[in-house]
Chains A and B, each alone.
Chain A
């Protein structure tokens, strides 16, 4: 139910509602939080940010779950990247300074997985944001109607579980 609700909302906001920037922002924050281990100071701050600023929650949730799964697959690679970056001789002075600041250790930047995945997330975040924003614009401009009329969507809409979901949703609305 939760999943159907999440996907349904996401498809709906793609078509109408929030601005493409807000949806892309929610998606990007979800991407960052999903890609990195959940328990860190920066993630908590990001979630607060997503709540306070006008970012789309459906996009955030979907991106969080999707990239959480991707992160699991890439876990060993993030660890290796984090390890090689954290042991770079030229950056030792910077890390040492950061390590000795109060609060900074609460970000767990010294953890190979946290650092590796965060670096990847930060590097890819702008690209994800712009790609998502442009994608939504393009979708609204020319693909939304085609998508709605497509056989795949008609098939999904025809599924019993989806029908049942719509009934429940409409009940909730009424």
Chain B
């Protein structure tokens, strides 16, 4: 043993402990910031953290989580808050927060510095749920863009040149179909030649036709004739079975050809849609108006909610990383010097981190209470391994302002089973939603101001199935315009129309698997706007639309007529021939059946005749015997 070394070691240890004690706040602050930043993908900052080592209490003056999509704003900012850790799990390298008190909370607060992480962000394995949903929903929104009315209000659309430039695909599709049908027709004709049953039927007829049951006298001859009829019937049956199977094939081919020919209408519709989309022809259908106006704003908010839920899923995964890749049979390559942590079943049900309870009794701004939110609520059971912990995380949050706005948010993050379920129910009363921006357009409003709106939102993400139902009722809405209308008649009229609108009811539904979402929006303005827009700029659009429809329809009719004529010339005779053969079979079948019945009747008659003759002979014999008796 080195005595000197022991002394030096003791001094070093003491120095280390002193250093750790003095720097404890900065060290923990830095650890929380790096872990949070890694999890969120943007800066997470803690200010003025203080640790009461003996009581395991931790407090801080400010906690900011940057919005990774807008790094100059925070997702959430907490004011002075405190939490209490449990000591026992620390021995197992687990961090369990028993209670977390929040007294000041702000959402979407501006940042003084950029919260982006410098350098490249690690590439995710594949597109996130939000990205997939964004792609699908954006495609839906692209189907109903806010139309550039100036194009239609000021000039006529030259449909002929449009068709010349863009071309129609229907004729090419019909030509391809023709090539295919020619082959089918050739094959069918060859099959029908093989199908011709006349020789076989003649043979069968030759067996049955000469039999004249009325002229046959003996029972033996009659039985023999019946035998021959039965054989003829069996032969006919054999031919018929073969014929029926071929006939079924021919009929199915003809039906298939028929169905293919009917696709002309679909091709024409697709051509029409393509032409309309190319020229940007709006239909102003009642069903599309709400999507056109409010779609982008609604989709944007739903995607924000989805992104938050996705972040929660990443933080609280059902399967931990190591298990996930072991299950997928992949070998994961962690960064150098890091490795990955493998989890084992635990007897103490502590995940790596667990927040048992967050108590919120907070205000969003202490300086301006007239605009502040007073929040109260509870978050429970947030943890890194919900499967292990076995209880879902829950959230209840209520808020109100001095102006009478209220909201209630109930949430459930159930990641305890394989099909992960995230649910939120938000009810808002008398909320000033502020200005909702619209896509920039000369004719349409630049934004919508919703003062005192009542809203409800049901959000459910089960596995990858999304279900969002949103309802907004606002009796005090105002459409705002950035630029003056000028002399444009259409712009002036639209402005008058939007200015008169005060009441807005909007319903939005986004349902389905993330890759096949359906988007449906309805509002109380749909009918009115659709009607007014059609009246204002509808003449040119309707004209162009009608011309396009007529041209495409004419083309479709021509192609349909051509196909029908071809069908009549090629496939109909095939079908008729097959039916003719079937009739021949039935005729022969009837003939054989008739002969059979006639023969059976004759056999029965002959049997009766022979029987009565025998009886007669027997009676005569018996009389003779009786006469001979004494």
Q: A87-B326, A100-B347, A105-B93 are in contact. Are A75 and B342 (CB under 8 A)?
A: no
The 8 Å CB contact of A96, one of B336, B339, B344, is: B344
User: Is A76's CB under 8 angstroms from B333's CB?
Assistant: yes
Q: Which residue of B lies closest to A71 (CB)?
A: B337
B54: Cβ under 8 A from any A Cβ: no
B608 to chain A, nearest CB (A): 88
Which residues of chain A have C-beta atoms less than 8 A from B326's C-beta? 87
Q: A51-B5, A51-B9 are in contact. Are A113 and B337 (CB under 8 A)?
A: yes
Q: A52-B2, A106-B93 are in contact. Are A82 and B339 (CB under 8 A)?
A: yes
Q: Which residue of A lies closest to B9 (CB)?
A: A51
| CA of A116 to CA of B341, assembled, Å | 12
Q: A76-B333, A102-B92, A105-B92 are in contact. Are A111 and B341 (CB under 8 A)?
A: yes
User: Is B339's CB under 8 angstroms from A114's CB?
Assistant: yes
B20 to chain A, nearest CB (A): 13
A46 to chain B, nearest CB (A): 13
A9: Cβ under 8 A from any B Cβ: no
Which residues of chain B have C-beta atoms less than 8 A from A53's C-beta? 1-2
A37: Cβ under 8 A from any B Cβ: yes
Annotate A83-107 by CB proximity to B: 1 below 8 A, 0 otherwise: 1001100001001100110110110
User: Is B2's CB under 8 angstroms from A96's CB?
Assistant: no
User: Is A100's CB under 8 angstroms from B346's CB?
Assistant: yes
Q: Which residue of A lies closest to B6 (CB)?
A: A52
Which residues of chain B have C-beta atoms less than 8 A from A45's C-beta? none
B124: Cβ under 8 A from any A Cβ: no
B550: Cβ under 8 A from any A Cβ: no
Annotate A142-168 by CB proximity to B: 1 below 8 A, 0 otherwise: 000000000000000000000000000
Which residues of chain A have C-beta atoms less than 8 A from B199's C-beta? none
Is the contact region of chain B dominated by helix, strand, or loop, or is it mixed? loop
User: Is B344's CB under 8 angstroms from A110's CB?
Assistant: yes
Is the contact region of chain A dominated by helix, strand, or loop, or is it mixed? helix
Q: Which residue of A lies closest to B342 (CB)?
A: A86
Which residues of chain A have C-beta atoms less than 8 A from B339's C-beta? 37, 78-79, 82, 111-114, 116
B-side interface size class: 20 to 34
| CA of A80 to CA of B345, assembled, Å | 21
User: Is A92's CB under 8 angstroms from B344's CB?
Assistant: yes
Q: A99-B346, A100-B346, A100-B347 are in contact. Are A113 and B338 (CB under 8 A)?
A: yes
A-side interface size class: 20 to 34
A98 to chain B, nearest CB (A): 8
B622: Cβ under 8 A from any A Cβ: no
B329 to chain A, nearest CB (A): 12
User: Is A52's CB under 8 angstroms from B342's CB?
Assistant: no
* Residue of B1, B6, B342 with most chain A CB atoms under a 10 A cut-off: B342
User: Is A80's CB under 8 angstroms from B331's CB?
Assistant: yes
A12: Cβ under 8 A from any B Cβ: no
| CA of A92 to CA of B331, assembled, Å | 19
The 8 Å CB contact of A112, one of B1, B342, B347, is: B342
B163: Cβ under 8 A from any A Cβ: no
B348: Cβ under 8 A from any A Cβ: yes
B334: Cβ under 8 A from any A Cβ: yes
User: Is A52's CB under 8 angstroms from B343's CB?
Assistant: no
Which residues of chain A have C-beta atoms less than 8 A from B342's C-beta? 83, 86-87, 110-112
| CA of A113 to CA of B342, assembled, Å | 11
A124 to chain B, nearest CB (A): 19
Which residues of chain B have C-beta atoms less than 8 A from A105's C-beta? 92-94
A54: Cβ under 8 A from any B Cβ: yes
| CA of A39 to CA of B296, assembled, Å | 50
User: Is A102's CB under 8 angstroms from B91's CB?
Assistant: yes
**Top 10 A-B pairs, shortest CB-CB distance:** A113-B339, A102-B91, A105-B93, A112-B339, A99-B344, A86-B342, A96-B344, A111-B339, A51-B9, A75-B336
State the A residues within 8 Å of B (CB): 37, 48, 51-54, 72, 75-76, 78-80, 82-83, 86-87, 92, 95-96, 99-100, 102-103, 105-106, 108, 110-114, 116
Known: A51-B2, A108-B93, A112-B322. 7 other contacts (CB 8 A): A79-B333, A92-B344, A102-B91, A106-B91, A108-B341, A111-B339, A116-B339
